[in-house]
Each structure stands twice: as C-alpha cells, then as structure tokens.
Amino acid sequence: MKINYDSKYYPNKLRNISNPPKQIFAVGNIDILNSFSIAIIGSRNCTTYGVRMTKKFIKELAKYNINTVSGLAVGIDKCVHVNTIEENVCTIAVLPCGLNNIYPKEHKTLVEKIINSGGCVITEYENDVSANSKQFLERNRIITGISDGVLIVEGGYRSGTSVTAKIAKKQSKKIFCIPSSLENSKGIVPNNLIKNGAILVTDETDIIKNYKGLEKQEKKKEKNIICNNKCNKIYSILNEDGMNIDEIINKTKLKVDEVNYQLMILELDGYIEQLPGKQYRRR
C-alpha cells in the first residue's frame, strides 16, 4: 500500500520530524503505525550479552503490549523482531530498500512472519529499489521518527547505532541505554550516551515511568494474525475443538485451493494444527 504524506493513513509521528518521507510503502497492519512503540537498535555483530538484554527487555515491555520498531538487519534488529513476535506483540520493520528487494535476502521469511503476526513492514523506497549505504542512514530517521522512544542495546565506535542515536536526539526522542561492560567494544555507544544524559535502564520500569498511561495488561492480547483478509477469516472461525476443511470452505466461501494454501501458512507459522480426518484447530 502506498501512503502519501497527505493521506489520512500517513503516520502522525512521521509528520513531526524535520525531513519526513514524501510517501511510504507499507504491507501488513498499518494501524499500528500510529500506536505507541519503542525502537530497539544495536549492533549487527552483536554479543551474547546484547542478545540476552534484548530478549529481557522485549519480554518485560510485552507486559504492556508495547510495539517495537527496528531495521530488519542481522544481529540485534533480527532479535528484536523475532522475540517481539514470540511475545505475541506487534513489530514494525523499516527497510532501506523496496518491498520487492528485501535486504538481507535471508530475512524474507522473517518479513512474512512479521506480517502474519499483525506487524507491519514499511519503506520510503519504490518496490524494486536495492539497498545501499546512503539509504541505511536515511532509513534510520524513520525508525526513530515513528517511535515514541529509542532503546540502545549495543553499538561500537562510529557505528550506525551512534548515528541513529544522534538522529533520535535531534527529533527530541527519549533515549534509553542498557549499560555495558567497559571491556565490551560494543558497549561504547550506550555507555557514552549515558555519560551525556541518556537514561540508564536496568528494567522496563525505567522506560515505562517516562510515559503516562502505560499499564500492565493482566492478559496478553491474543496473537493478531491479520496477514491478509483470507488468512484472518479462516483463523477467526476456528476453535480448539477442530473443524473439517469442508466446513471451513462452506463458512468462509473461499475456493478450495485458497483455503488449503492459507491453512498451510497458518500451520507452518504455528497458529493451527491439523488433526486426523482433515480437521484443523487453533493451537
């Protein structure tokens, strides 16, 4: 979906940055683009400590159903998207390329999972545009711009993470940093940012207390799987008792091959399971 700057679907937070994209291209659940979210960024060559801290904070923020934003790169970005999905919360991936030219290529499956879990993938570039170094930098202003705050996990000297932090500061975003060992070369950026006024965080409360209206959810929201209308239509009629494929076809009014395809996708993503006799039920 192409969303022009003057469209009612254009994210309000992006309108407030100094150089907003003239248009964005989005696939997935565009409603979450205006929801509260925290960007989580860090090194591509991340440490095990960085991965552990990313998982820890995502698990804690999930208690508040807080969406995450990251850049689909390897390392911390991938960890953000994967673990957000595992916590049944939505995640937004911002690309430095067109939607037909996913970078890195090995994350095409991750893109599908983001969409299938109710998340959204966005870019300012036309569908067939390839990624380059300039576009990585341009992409970063959207990651921070569409977020309500930025959590820095790790970053080396003169890294992309340090550049993104500078962009976030110019956008007057709250910057949160996870402290790191002085012996960790990837801890240079968060430690220096803390010295210069960024907010040191040791758990989610250090983030939550900076925003009004955020409350823990006693019950996590059910997985949102609006990958597309057909997929959602099938999932919505299933229960835990099981339903025959003929009954699914009858209720959804979809073609046989379409139902079979969507059931396969739902099963591969772990949302449903097949029982004997062509019966399907929610997991």
β-strand 23-28 against 199-200: which pairing, if any? unpaired
pLDDT at 3 over 60: yes
Token output for 251: 């209720």
pLDDT digits (tens, 9 = 90+) for 21-48: 999 999 999 999 999 999 999 999 999 9
Work out the mean pLDDT of the chain and round it to a whole number: 91
pTM recorded for the entire structure: 0.78
**pLDDT over 70 percentage in the chain:** 95
- Distance CA(69)–CA(67), nearest Å, equals 7
Q: pLDDT confidence of 218, banded at 50, 70, 90?
A: low
Of residues 247 and 225, the one with the higher pLDDT is: 247
Q: CA distances (Å), 189 to each of 43, 182, 274, in order?
A: 10, 11, 48
Give the C-alpha separation, 211 to 222, whole Å.
24
Ordered DSSP codes for 223-262? PP--SSHHHHHHHHH--SS-EEHHHHHHHHT--HHHHHHH
